[in-house]
Amino acid sequence: MHLDDVTTALAATTAPHRDRFLEFVRTHGDAALRRDGGPEHLTASCFVFSPDLGSVLLCLHRKGRFWVQFGGHLEPGDRDLAEAARREAREESGIADLDLLDTSVADLDRHDLHGGFTCAAHWDVGFVAAVDPARATT
């Protein structure tokens, strides 16, 4: 994943906090993309909806003990943020053929982490997928 690609993806969104995310990435450079790059870094997540948008598939976060969309840290083999979000959603949901509806950024959310987390904050970049609920239960 290249820093320029991340900056381009963030700049293309109209999501609130876009400018804060861009400033964070510009200030921290490549370290913003790595789990070991400091206590705050980017993560990628995926909101998985039913095709009619009437339901959302969530997972119980093991450390945090709360329900959340699929997502996590960026990995060296990820081509871009969208690929990282899709990989995380596939790994955590078990739905091997899960694909994003769009490779555009849908959500930006910076959240502080407490109790049991080694990271201080995640700058999460969210994407969206739709999956038939029958596929999610097999």
Contact status, residue 47 vs residue 127, Cβ threshold 8 Å: yes
- Cα 81 to Cα 104: distance, rounded to the nearest angstrom: 9
Contact status, residue 28 vs residue 38, Cβ threshold 8 Å: yes
Question: What's the pLDDT tens digit per position in 60-69?
Answer: 977 767 899 9
Contact status, residue 71 vs residue 100, Cβ threshold 8 Å: no
Question: What's the pLDDT tens digit per position in 43-52?
Answer: 999 999 999 9
Is the pLDDT reported for residue 53 higher than 80?
yes
Could you give the angle at the alpha carbon of 34 between the alpha carbons of 29 and 39, nearest 5°? Answer: 90
| Residue 127 CB burial class (10 angstroms; 0-12, 13-18, ≥19) | buried
SS (H, E, C) 68-85: ECEEEECCCCCCCHHHHH
pTM listed for this prediction: 0.92
Question: What's the pLDDT tens digit per position in 85-127?
Answer: 999 999 999 999 999 999 999 999 999 887 777 889 999 999 9
Neighbours of 74 (CB within 10 A): 25
Q: How confident is the model at residue 25 (pLDDT cuts 50, 70, 90)?
A: very high
Is the pLDDT reported for residue 21 higher than 80?
yes
Contact status, residue 129 vs residue 101, Cβ threshold 8 Å: yes
Is the pLDDT reported for residue 138 higher than 50?
no
The torsion angle over the Cα atoms of residues 81, 21, 32 and 2, rounded to 10 degrees, is 40
Check residue 118 and give its pLDDT: 81
Q: How confident is the model at residue 135 (pLDDT cuts 50, 70, 90)?
A: confident
Domains and CATH numbers, the chain: 3-136 (3.90.79.10)
For residues 72 and 138, which has the higher predicted lDDT (pLDDT)?
72
Give the orientation angle of helix 18-28 with respect to helix 3-11, to 10 degrees.
170
Q: Specify the DSSP element, H or E, that contains 17.
A: none
